[in-house]
Amino acid sequence: MTSFQKPTIPEIIEPVDLTIDDTESTDDSSRVIEVNAAAYQSAYEQIVRPDRAVYLPGYFLRWLKIIGPGLAWMYVAFRQLAYLAGVRRGSTSNRFSGKAIAALAGITERTYWNRVGNSDTWEKLNGLVQIIKSGKEWDVKSPTPKRLPRRFVVAMTLPLTPADAALLRQWIVKHMETLNGAEAVLRAAIEAPLEELIPENAEASEDDQPATVRQLVHELFHGELDEKLLAALASAIQTHIIVPTDLIVIPVYFLEHILPYLGAGPGWMLTLLRDQGFMDRETNEYRNRVTVNGGYAEIAGWMGMSRPITIYEWLHGKKDEKFREPVLRAYVREIQKGEKELDFALQPRTFDFLFEDAPAGIVEAALTKTDLHEVFNIKNHPVYANFSIGFTRISEDDYATFSIGFTRFAEDIYATFIDISLNSFSLTPTSSTDNDKTPEPEPQPEPQKTAAAVDSDWDLEKLLRLNSVHPKTQKAVLENGATARVFIAHLLFAFSKGNESIKKPLSFALDQLRTNPGPPDEKFVALASMPQHILVAMLSGEKVDHPLAATWRKLMGSEGGKTPRYRELLPILLGDAAPTQEELHERKQASEIESQTAELFVPNPLPRPVNLPQSKFQRRSRD
């Protein structure tokens, strides 16, 4: 029999042009293929990168019910970093900062460390993420004691939940006698209906533990069957239960820029509503309307929640006349049917939702350099009605009913696109080569226009008090209409390359605000408008994957390997909370390690046509 050799599959990072060298050679190794990435023709694709995504097996929904929304996002973050660190690169481990994990989990770094220190976290994540506690915790050899990195092991093959592992074990043991041996019972399990093997909503006992199918069958039949046969049968049962093509797709852009503003529960609600949508290539049906037959109760059940009214409060609840979850309303709209409600919790509910992570209204405003305050002023801009679901809803309800949280969310999305308008986004013919291209001059910013949507997440009054600015100066600055964004933009200008002659940047910025409250060069305003955690990371010397990173290096980068002057800006912005030199050094090391890892790329799975059978878990509701 001819042995089967696994083919080598090349990694694809970008959509590419291929140039093949067809010159004759007697040495096969000299036949070179040159690969060149074509320029993006879509602003959305360039920034959002829909191909950068975390792909979770649909079976994870059973885990979601057990561990809850918050810890589920933590597992997503751990899984993504484990993929980047080990699975894709072939190494067994790598180091990341707690800040990196928190950023992908949609939480603050403080919340992350609080969860790490809570034993309940690891009891619930048992089987998914394991914290290794062994050896020394502190390095006392250096002059300043340092905490050694915590070690985690992340499950890349999803284990069965404790209840499902117990059910599968019971089924196998029960059928051992009637099916005549280990191999026969395992082959029968491959064909058995899932509702027979692992019926849904089973309760786990205290002694039940999660396990992969391979671990379970190895425990039961080690020594009775050939190990290779045992591994093959276990793999077949695993794919019968956890279908490889049944995937939940979560874009990395969503994790980094949407989830922190949505929150854990609304984030999963939107993700799972999107999971039920599709585009049918035969009929060109674009489905972004879904009916959940079990209503609010079913949605709550997706996340292991027992209070259906919570879903209603996410969608419609207000506090102090402002919506509690304004960002969710920008992505999801409940369709009111105008009929009498027979059952508040269980009545079917229909929703429209956005597939796009960056709403078209914000993208258009960024690319056209339209101030978002003008966009949100619906009384002066009837064009609102042409925007996405969220913006149509805003035009109905009035922007004043939204909290500052929505403003910050819109600013974050806006800031990721503004660099395109600053750094020449132009359509390039896909057939052109480097030799055909004529360099275009960098476009100059238009005068009297701001580069960001709204003011950044800094408070000018707090910054002035933090730096003990004289009360008279504070009053003059505030009365002159200055903003935190413009203040920080002046500070960045003072600390930038070529402005070393400005010896007192804080005094310089205050003088500018007193005499001229207008912004400096638009590029500095764009940098000042980045989310607070991004700006602090850049000031700390961390390598940040952000559209403005190139602009930052050009304007702020240090010369000759010296510590950049702009580090002095950290205590001006953060006061005593500014990181120490030792902390900055540790962050830089973690950032350098992270930057060496590749981005996740998995080809998008084919959309689910109408006529395809449902997932074996029947997780999708249909109209």
Question: Do residue 469 and residue 417 come from a single domain?
Answer: no
Question: Do residue 559 and residue 535 come from a single domain?
Answer: yes
Domain range for 221 is 162-241
150 domain residue, yes or no: no
The 10s digit of each residue's pLDDT in 445-456 is: 433 333 333 334
Question: Do residue 534 and residue 484 come from a single domain?
Answer: yes
400 domain residue, yes or no: yes
Q: Which amino acid is at 311?
A: I
576 domain residue, yes or no: yes
**Structure tokens that stand for 530 in this block:** 């980045």
Instruction: Please tell me the predicted confidence (pLDDT) of residue 556.
Output: 83
Question: Which residue in 417, 299, 435, 436 sits closest to 366, CA to CA?
Answer: 417
**459-467 long-range Cβ contacts below 8 angstroms, 24+ apart:** 459/484, 460/484, 460/487, 463/487, 463/572, 463/573, 466/572, 466/575, 467/506, 467/572
55 domain residue, yes or no: no
Please give the full DSSP string across 208-243, using - where no structure is assigned.
---B-HHHHHHHHHBTTB-HHHHHHHHHHHHHHHS-
524 domain residue, yes or no: yes
259 domain residue, yes or no: yes
Question: Do residue 237 and residue 256 come from a single domain?
Answer: no
Instruction: Please tell me the predicted confidence (pLDDT) of residue 25.
Output: 44
Question: Do residue 281 and residue 203 come from a single domain?
Answer: no
For residue 494, give the 3-state DSSP assignment. helix
Q: How many residues does the chain have?
A: 623
Instruction: Please tell me the predicted confidence (pLDDT) of residue 481.
Output: 79
Question: Do residue 270 and residue 398 come from a single domain?
Answer: yes
619 domain residue, yes or no: no
Question: Do residue 350 and residue 215 come from a single domain?
Answer: no
Which residue in this structure is represented by tokens 């030792």? Answer: 582
Instruction: Please tell me the predicted confidence (pLDDT) of residue 518.
Output: 67
Question: Do residue 319 and residue 214 come from a single domain?
Answer: no
Instruction: Please tell me the predicted confidence (pLDDT) of residue 318.
Output: 84
Q: What is the mean pLDDT of each run of 10 residues along the chain (623 residues)?
A: 36 33 48 80 88 93 95 94 67 73 91 90 93 69 70 90 94 88 92 92 88 93 90 95 94 92 94 87 79 94 94 88 83 82 88 88 80 54 38 42 65 74 46 43 38 53 86 83 86 87 88 76 84 84 80 73 78 79 59 43 36 41 38
Greatest C-alpha distance within the chain: 91
Q: Which amino acid is at 24?
A: E
Question: Do residue 268 and residue 181 come from a single domain?
Answer: no
Instruction: Please tell me the predicted confidence (pLDDT) of residue 421.
Output: 53
The 10s digit of each residue's pLDDT in 473-526 is: 888 888 887 888 888 988 998 888 888 888 888 988 888 888 776 667 788 888
Question: Do residue 296 and residue 203 come from a single domain?
Answer: no
Report how many domains make up the chain.
3
Instruction: Please tell me the predicted confidence (pLDDT) of residue 266.
Output: 95
622 and 124 in contact (C-beta within 8 Å)?
Answer: no
What predicted TM-score, i.e. pTM, was given to this entire model?
Answer: 0.64
Instruction: Please tell me the predicted confidence (pLDDT) of residue 21.
Output: 38
Question: Do residue 193 and residue 312 come from a single domain?
Answer: no
Half-sphere exposure at residue 605, Cβ-oriented, CA atoms within 13 angstroms? 18
Half-sphere exposure at residue 475, Cβ-oriented, CA atoms within 13 angstroms? 3
Question: Do residue 470 and residue 514 come from a single domain?
Answer: yes
498 domain residue, yes or no: yes
Instruction: Please tell me the predicted confidence (pLDDT) of residue 417.
Output: 79
